[in-house]
Structure 1
């Protein structure tokens, strides 16, 4: 029988990756990466227009470069015929939003609008809409809007409607000219399929959409700003399809562009981190996936819906069709380790690493592994970029307690590793305490692949076995799996993501199991973590808030006007 293949396209922050996968086995056949020519635009537009602080934009042409260059490349690399490819799916950073013209084209590419920053693609990490997010949150609280409970009680500046509100307030002409606001991932999917559709995944996690209730009411939006009264029927119109469905079929024009056959299935798009869930086979209730990199995204599949403090999204059909999917996260994991190595490690450690032919992370991991839990007398808080879950407080900051003149670099490094494991344990406890089961834990991403000490610490701290993805392209693999589902059994794919996961998911045989002696020591150390967590995060959070205000320049206001911190 002729082998059939599917393609997963992973759109990241700086580049796009295309993965060719055999549908029957999940074997990864070929991969190719295309770097974005324009990268992340956070200082100026291509024409030279300067950008303000906290802006992060992208060029939609970069997305087409990925399709045009990397799709033919994987076929050529693998010597696979386009006739044997049955479907493709994409995952995308989110919330990354685009203003579109009536023709469905990016507004930023129109000559009259290319000089206006608000016409461009706002990347997920565009944080200049924080005041709009705060305003939306305040109104939802005042009106006791039920949708807010599904998002930890706070809206994020990264999400769709705060970004739209920023456009409305700062560039009303761009808002008026925009025919549709769409997630970039949904837009690329629609371009491939020739059919404008939205994903239950992107709408559910980034636009307050709910399968039963839809979006928040028109009354809520009109109270927020009268000009938003009809936004759901105008600039947010379009059907929301469930994750796992077919968005459409590849158009002849796009088939010519990327070297595939027209008419093959195009899957509904998915958020990048979320695509890693089916890639490890976590399609059943009680399975938790940690997408670990610079930050960590925790995704839990369940059959019950419970309002849980600090959860950043509770969405039916959000990641796995027919299931309730929860999302939480830690905003500084690998970033906190990198901060220490880049900014605080002594030169003698860097020299020792160089002499040993290792990078600094590898040397510190080796040295830290020789320490037993608690040996350093240190405990740290994992809030180096604020707290996303469970406190939902961006104004909190990191801390290390127990430092002495004898403290060694590897001990600080280990304390930082342990702090992120403690933060994850706190998140797991919030689920379990609310009656939502956590039975299995999987880890995907670069960190689990590289740092074995980190994963052993997670197993010991949580007292749970940790299973590791057997792929370095887990998000692209997940997108390819949904492509196989969109193609269907007759074409050589699958009828459901459950069937696809059974055949295509990839997990290593090696797992990380708790070491009983370490578990007991970490139980004591975790109690100290919780004391610090509650003290700085609840009882005395004004202390960290005040320090951040001083850092942001408000000290001058204090000196001039006597404004209390």
Structure 2
């Protein structure tokens, strides 16, 4: 795209700009974008100094239990202080020409705070209490609470349960909140607000508490009828009846302004005080705008450490195992659907870190390649089915369609001749099979998937993308931007600033994708149909007794927790 510049080569002062910030699992990224055409002029990344807190609390010997994953709010504020000024400097844009800022976050990443928004982990007397810290999206230690939430809801016939595919995830607000109550009731009592990080960061930018319809709907079990009833909460635990009081009802539509940038936030970021701040959003859902995928049937798969599948539709249906369907959850006026896989890129990373012999690492280094690239090259030489393997992609549990984070991975078919590239390709295929299972669940309920679009870091792997196209038997479009969530947040900022009347109009001007970048090969697709049938048999068998199979994975999980827990 040709850049609009002045005669001296600097950005055109007549243009207006917006900033998008994507808060990820390990880092935060800021991008400066032209509000008229979506041109990305400068970006910067800030790595979280605490990363993912999984073993012990920072500066402490307090150990965390199995399946815990926390973060530090200080890391998020550092993104405002570091990444935004650097992106502005690299863009050459005059901060005075920036008219709005938008953000997105991983979800459900949630934290307890005081009434003024102070995180409990930042109080000196609470820093050594694990439950005082934000629980990252992949914190799965609340599975027992999720099981209780689902059982009580099913027994009572709660009408909202089927809107969430029949199961509430351990990743979400209610399960994590119930875990807080049951494991640290004193801390629960000191929690004035239980708030998504997506909304907390907006609070820091505007000085005003707000809640966005996306996280409230998908992660907070809030439908058009409100939150679950007091009677239901009491059935979970009598002390849990005040839980929804710690949430909020002042919900803001996506793209709407949540407030104006405060003087303090202006000092952090180097942006003008008083500019528009868009309502909070989720990294996956906001990416639909970056792909200009705002119409019914356009499914966007944001593929990174995990994968989230989001799609708008003009049809309301109850899709088993989905993460929810929310009115205006992606685009105002349409039903927004969400599904996902708890681990994708994380699986490939685990394999490279733990399952590759030194000789392979040395050869990759000799060729000047990453181990991932080296294995991908070897795997690309194989014909479909040649490795004789089938894997289940449950290394971090199953988000959709089973909604069970006590499940674990399975790999069958290994022999003494199995090579690392065989396992690597089998894991890529397993994640593709998991995605096909999700697409089938949508279409079996009459929610058509008209276009499959990929965003995120994994779209750089051409072998992976072609395997997905072959497994799905459909073309794959790709987001043109390498930083889809940050661009999507910038698009929402442009709407909040009044440049566009709504998100679809802004996405049409600022978003972009390459349609049908990958096409399925009929012969490979036929072979993958055979492998997918085997995947489905293993999928249902290892899912547990409820699906006609064995409970061995659940028994192994329970034994592990008993031994180390």
Does residue 521 of structure 2 align to residue 515 of structure 1? Answer: yes
Q: Is the 8 A contact 1:8 1:18 kept in 2?
A: yes
* Structure 1 position 74, deviation (Å): 1.9
* Structure 1 position 119, deviation (Å): 2.7
Describe the superposition over 1:161-185 as per-residue Cα deviations: whole angstroms up to 9, x where unpaired.
Answer: 2222222223333222222221122
CA distance in 1, matches of 2:323, 2:445: 15
Q: Is the 8 A contact 1:100 1:180 kept in 2?
A: yes
Does residue 170 of structure 2 align to residue 170 of structure 1? Answer: no
Q: How many residues align?
A: 549
> 1:141 maps to what in 2?
154
CA distance in 2, matches of 1:406, 1:257: 57
> 2:36 maps to what in 1?
24
1:341 to 326, 338, 352: 352
Q: Is the 8 A contact 1:396 1:541 kept in 2?
A: no
> 2:395 maps to what in 1?
384
**Change over 3 Å in CA distance of 1:368–1:118 after alignment to 2:** closer
Q: Is the 8 A contact 1:265 1:487 kept in 2?
A: yes
Q: Is the 8 A contact 1:244 1:320 kept in 2?
A: no
- Name the SS of the counterpart of 2:442 in structure 1: helix
Q: Is the 8 A contact 1:549 1:555 kept in 2?
A: no
Q: Is the 8 A contact 1:7 1:87 kept in 2?
A: yes
CA distance in 2, matches of 1:115, 1:408: 45
> 2:7 maps to what in 1?
none
Q: Is the 8 A contact 2:210 2:248 kept in 1?
A: no
Q: Is the 8 A contact 1:196 1:238 kept in 2?
A: no
**Change over 3 Å in CA distance of 1:268–1:403 after alignment to 2:** same
CA distance in 1, matches of 2:82, 2:348: 34
Does residue 513 of structure 2 align to residue 534 of structure 1? Answer: no
**Change over 3 Å in CA distance of 1:516–1:481 after alignment to 2:** same
> 1:196 maps to what in 2?
209
**Change over 3 Å in CA distance of 1:405–1:92 after alignment to 2:** same
Describe the superposition over 1:363-403 as per-residue Cα deviations: whole angstroms up to 9, x where unpaired.
Answer: 22222222222233333322333322222333333333333
CA distance in 1, matches of 2:188, 2:428: 44
**Change over 3 Å in CA distance of 1:497–1:444 after alignment to 2:** same
* Structure 1 position 63, deviation (Å): 2.0
- For structure 1, the residue ranges without an aligned partner over 5 or more in a row are 557-565
> 1:227 maps to what in 2?
239
Does residue 140 of structure 2 align to residue 127 of structure 1? Answer: yes
Q: Is the 8 A contact 1:373 1:522 kept in 2?
A: yes
> 1:470 maps to what in 2?
480
**Change over 3 Å in CA distance of 1:179–1:543 after alignment to 2:** closer
CA distance in 1, matches of 2:466, 2:456: 16
1:10 to 10, 22, 26: 22
2:108 to 88, 95, 108: 95
CA distance in 1, matches of 2:410, 2:49: 38
2:53 to 20, 41, 62: 41
Q: Is the 8 A contact 2:476 2:516 kept in 1?
A: no
Q: Is the 8 A contact 2:169 2:403 kept in 1?
A: no
* Structure 1 position 547, deviation (Å): 3.9
The two structures have a TM-score, normalised by structure 1, of: 0.91
- Name the SS of the counterpart of 1:481 in structure 2: helix
CA distance in 2, matches of 1:552, 1:240: 39
Q: Is the 8 A contact 2:540 2:548 kept in 1?
A: yes
CA distance in 1, matches of 2:470, 2:379: 15
- Name the SS of the counterpart of 1:255 in structure 2: helix
> 1:561 maps to what in 2?
none
Describe the superposition over 1:309-352 as per-residue Cα deviations: whole angstroms up to 9, x where unpaired.
Answer: 11112111112211111111122322222333332234433333
> 2:83 maps to what in 1?
70
> 2:291 maps to what in 1?
280
Stretch of structure 1 that moved more, 500-509 or 457-466 = 500-509
- For structure 2, the residue ranges without an aligned partner over 5 or more in a row are 1-12
2:315 to 278, 296, 304: 304
CA distance in 2, matches of 1:404, 1:247: 57
CA distance in 2, matches of 1:135, 1:551: 21
**Change over 3 Å in CA distance of 1:92–1:405 after alignment to 2:** same
Q: Is the 8 A contact 2:112 2:134 kept in 1?
A: yes
**Change over 3 Å in CA distance of 1:343–1:500 after alignment to 2:** same
> 2:253 maps to what in 1?
242
- Name the SS of the counterpart of 2:108 in structure 1: coil
CA distance in 1, matches of 2:175, 2:157: 18
CA distance in 2, matches of 1:172, 1:291: 37
- Name the SS of the counterpart of 2:333 in structure 1: coil
1:79 to 63, 79, 92: 92
Describe the superposition over 1:129-170 as per-residue Cα deviations: whole angstroms up to 9, x where unpaired.
Answer: 232222222211111112221223222222112222222223
Describe the superposition over 1:456-490 as per-residue Cα deviations: whole angstroms up to 9, x where unpaired.
Answer: 011111111111122221111111111011111xx
1:113 to 113, 126, 129: 126
Describe the superposition over 1:21-53 as per-residue Cα deviations: whole angstroms up to 9, x where unpaired.
Answer: 111111111111222233333344345250321
> 1:560 maps to what in 2?
none
RMSD value, Cα: 2.3
Describe the superposition over 1:271-293 as per-residue Cα deviations: whole angstroms up to 9, x where unpaired.
Answer: 12222221111111101111112
- Name the SS of the counterpart of 1:291 in structure 2: strand
* Structure 1 position 529, deviation (Å): 2.3
Does residue 492 of structure 2 align to residue 482 of structure 1? Answer: yes
* Structure 1 position 216, deviation (Å): 0.8
- Name the SS of the counterpart of 2:41 in structure 1: strand
CA distance in 2, matches of 1:47, 1:402: 45
> 2:373 maps to what in 1?
362
2:230 to 213, 218, 223: 218
CA distance in 1, matches of 2:562, 2:53: 26
> 1:546 maps to what in 2?
555
**Change over 3 Å in CA distance of 1:256–1:400 after alignment to 2:** closer
CA distance in 2, matches of 1:384, 1:40: 17
